[in-house]
Amino acid sequence: AQKITQTQPGMFVQEKEAVTLDCTYDTSDQSYGLFWYKQPSSGEMIFLIYQGSYDEQNATEGRYSLNFQKARKSANLVISASQLGDSAMYFCAMLPFYNQGGKLIFGQGTELSVKP
């Protein structure tokens, strides 16, 4: 079964420090896409970063990087130099190869709080 697991319901990080949000996935597909989304308290869903299963290098987007370990089926999000505005819910998601028309599989989310 296709599944995304985020084991950290809540995380705290000090401003300016780095933080890693965990994500493991389960799929039997060889091809798939992994995504991270940010949902601030205002409610919108913001696309942060994408990693393809065949990408050999870890994806990076500004202060966001994805620590992709295919053999361990993990796709952790690393946020460097945390800012107060990073406080939000973060969702890991997967599109399997046979994704049936864009059916994103979401994890439960991790609520990140950045402390000043």
Partner 1 sequence: DTAVSQTPKYLVTQMGNDKSIKCEQNLGHDTMYWYKQDSKKFLKIMFSYNNKELIINETVPNRFSPKSPDKAHLNLHINSLELGDSAVYFCASSQDGSSYNSPLHFGNGTRLTVT
Where along the sequence are the contacts to partner 1 (CB under 8 A)? 29, 31-33, 35, 37, 39, 42-47, 50, 52-53, 89, 91, 93, 95-97, 99-104, 106, 108-109
Judged by beta carbon, residue 57 or residue 116, the one nearer partner 1 is 57
Determine contact, residues 77/59, Cβ cutoff 8 Å: no
Which CB atom, from 37 or from 82, has the smaller least distance to partner 1? Answer: 37
Query: Measuring CA to CA, which residue among 72, 50, 68, 44 is closest to residue 58?
Result: 68
| Rounded least distance, CB 36 to partner 1, Å | 10
Beta-carbon contacts of 113 under 8 Å, excluding residues fewer than 6 positions away, are 10, 11, 12, 13, 87
CB of 86 to partner 1, least distance (A): 17
CB of 71 to partner 1, least distance (A): 19
Residues 66, 82: Cα–Cα separation, whole Å: 15
